Chains A and B, each alone.
Chain A
Amino acid sequence: MRRQAGQLAFLSVSTGTASPDEAPQATVYSADGTAVVSDIKLPPLGDDNVFGRAWRVSIAAGDYLVRYLWEVSSVEKVRTEPLKVLPGGDAEGAYRNLTFYEPPHARFVVGQQESDKDTFRRNPRV
Chain B
Amino acid sequence: MAHGIYPLDHYAQSREGLLYAADGWSAVRRWDGLTSDYEEAGVPAPENAPLFTAHFGPGFLTGSWTAYARYLDRYGNPGNPSPASLTVRVADISGTVEAISNATPVRVTSTGHGLVSGGRTDIPGTSLGSKIVIRWPDGTEETLYYDVISANTFDLYYDNALTSGVEPDDHRQPAGQWAQNASGFTYVLPTNGTGTSGNGTISSVSQHIIETDAPHGLSDMGRLGHSDGRVQITMTGPGSIDVVGTFYFQVQDTTHLRLFDDDALTSPANIVGVDEGTDIWSGYNWAEQAIPETVERVQILRTKSGSAAAAYVDQEGDRFQTFFESALDDGSLGESVVLIDPFTGDASYSQRFGLPPKDKPFLAAVGGRMLAAGDPVWTRGAVKVTEDSETVEGIGTDWEGDFEDRLLTVQGSDRAYRIASRSGQTLTLTEAYEGDSAPYASYAISPSYRSRRFLQWSEAGYAEAWYALAGVILPADHEGGAVTGLASFDAAGIVFAENRAFRFSFVLDPATDGSVVPAFDRGAINNRCHVRTESAIYALDHRGVYRTTGRNSDDVSETAQDVFAGKHSEFRIQWKWKESFHACFDPQNESILFFVSLTGGLPRHVLAYRLRSGDWEILEFPVPITCSAVARIGGRLRVIVGTEHGRVLVLDEGERDGATEGTLSGSVSSAGYDWLEDSSAAFSGCENAPVRIVEGQGAGQERLIVACDGTRLDLDTPWNITPDSTSRYVIGGITWRWKTGWYRWAVDDTEKPQAVALTYKPSEVASRLAMRLYADQSDEPKVMGVSRSNYGVTTEKGSADIVVNATKENGYAVHQTDRGKETRADGWRRVAVELVGTTNGDEHAIYQVDIIGAVS
Contacts and interface: CB of A to CB of B under 8 A. Distances in A.
B627 interface: yes
Contacts, number: 160
B646 A23 contact: no
B633 A97 contact: no
Given A87-B706, A96-B6, A43 B382 contact: yes
Contacts of B707: 86-88
Given A2-B717, A99-B629, A23 B640 contact: no
Contacts of B120: none
B31 A94 contact: no
B323 interface: no
A121 B640 CA distance: 12
Given A6-B645, A94-B644, A107 B631 contact: yes
A53 B642 contact: no
B19 interface: yes
Nearest to A25: B395
Given A53-B381, A87-B707, A110-B19, A98 B648 contact: yes
Contacts of B654: 126
A68 to B, nearest CB: 13
Contacts of A102: 632
A116 B21 CA distance: 12
B331 interface: no
Contacts of A2: 674, 716-717
A86 B714 contact: yes
A106 B627 CA distance: 22
B33 A95 contact: no
B626 A96 contact: yes
A93 B648 CA distance: 12
A99 B654 CA distance: 22
Contacts of B10: 97
Contacts of A94: 602, 624, 626, 642-646
Given A86-B714, A107-B631, A109-B631, A96 B9 contact: yes
Given A94-B644, A126-B633, A99 B396 contact: no
Interface in A112-126: 112-114, 116, 118-121, 124-126
Given A23-B395, A98-B629, A103-B17, A4 B645 contact: yes
Nearest to A108: B33
B698 to A, nearest CB: 19
Contacts of B648: 95, 98, 109, 111, 121, 124
B256 interface: no
B705 to A, nearest CB: 8
Residue in A96, A109, A114, A116 whose Cβ sees the most chain B Cβ within 10 Å: A96
B347 to A, nearest CB: 39
Nearest to B18: A103
Contact of A96 (B32, B627, B647, B717): B627
Interface of A: 2, 4, 6-7, 20-23, 40-44, 51, 53, 86-90, 92-114, 116, 118-121, 124-126
Interface of B: 6, 8-11, 13, 17, 19, 21, 31-34, 36-38, 381-382, 384, 395-397, 400, 439-440, 442, 528, 582, 602, 624, 626-634, 638, 640-648, 650, 653-654, 674, 687-688, 706-707, 714, 716-717
7 residue pairs, one from A and one from B, having the closest CB atoms: A95-B642, A43-B382, A100-B631, A103-B33, A90-B646, A53-B396, A99-B11
